[in-house]
Amino acid sequence: MRILVVEDDRNLARQMAEALTAHHYAVDLAHDGEEGQFLGDTESYDAVILDLGLPVIDGVAVLTDWRRNDRRMPVLVLTVRDRWHEKVAAFDAGADDYVVKPFHLEELLARLRALIRRASGHTSSTLVCGPLSIDLGNSKVSLDGAPVVLTAHEYKLLAYLAHHRGRPVSRSELIEHIYSQDFDRDSNTIEVFVRRVRKKIGAEFIRTTRGLGYQLVCEPEPGAE
């Protein structure tokens, strides 16, 4: 999952980026409203953490512009503004959640997971796909109750497929959502990660649909790919 953090406090932005990266998110940072607005308009994100008191362009104006341009990613507003009319303005502009500073990182992460789950149609913090279980809160995967050890990028790929199970996901979509902006995006590595994950959970769980991409299959047929 790929997250955009728009926060002018560089120390706080760094702390959030480190926490998000530790939980296997790909993270892009913007430190003013103009840069944040541009990234939100031109890149693909699973969610955005948006400060309101931004330099150049205010956060409410950024959010209003995104929604006007039909940018539908969930947006969690993070701000010192705690008056009720400021919260109303943010929600009316298109915010999905609102957290007042100071805050606990664990709460922020939990709210972010909930936003991403709801956006993809899931209600539980554990995604279950047949004998396969993905604990989003702890970034852990198990198969028939036994732990499956994945690298960070293998986990990102599997988690994205699990969030969007029921449809094929193209290589280009995977590239957009599991890598941050400054990562060297080589499409061939997606095939490598798919191959590795198949070895660890069983090739039959990830189906290749020619011309469309990869799909997580919850009731796989043995030997199928």
Q: Please give the torsion angle defined by the CA atoms of residues 155, 160, 164 and 169, in that order, rounded to the nearest 10 degrees.
A: -110
pLDDT of residue 211: 84
Candidates 161, 154, 152, 150; CA nearest to 127 is 161
Of the candidate ranges 34-38, 43-47, 81-85, 134-138, the one whose mean pLDDT is the lowest: 81-85
pLDDT in tens, 87-134: 999 999 999 999 999 999 999 999 999 999 999 888 888 999 999 999
3-state secondary structure 112-161: HHHHHHHHCCCCCCEEEECCEEEECCCCEEEECCEEECCCHHHHHHHHHH
Give the rounded distance of the alpha carbon of 136 from its chain centre: 11
Q: In this predicted structure, what is the pLDDT of residue 187? A: 65
- Which of 97 and 182 is assigned the larger pLDDT? 97
DSSP string, 81-121: ---HHHHHHHHHHT-SEEEESS--HHHHHHHHHHHHHHHTT
CA–CA gap between residue 133 and residue 137 (Å, rounded): 12
Domains of the chain: 2-119 (3.40.50.2300), 126-216 (1.10.10.10)
Give the mean pLDDT of the chain. Answer: 91
For residue 197, pLDDT beyond 70: yes
Backbone angles phi, psi at 42, to 5 degrees: -115, -15
**What mean pLDDT do residues 27-47 have?**
96
Say what the pLDDT of residue 88 is. 94
Q: How far is 92 from 31, CA to CA, in rounded Å?
A: 23
Q: Work out whether strand 126-129 and strand 132-135 pair parallel, antiparallel, or are unpaired.
A: antiparallel
User: Largest Cα–Cα distance of the chain, in whole Å?
Assistant: 58
Comparing CA positions, the residue from 137, 147, 165, 124 lying closest to residue 201 is: 147
pTM attached to this predicted model: 0.86
Question: Looking at residue 169, what DSSP letter applies?
Answer: B
Give strand pairing partners of 98.
77
- pLDDT, residue 39, reads 96
Report whether pLDDT(70) > 90.
Answer: yes
Phi/psi at 62 (nearest 5 deg)?
-60, -50
What is the structure's pLDDT at 105?
Answer: 93
- The predicted model gives 193-201 an average pLDDT of 95
pLDDT at 225: 54
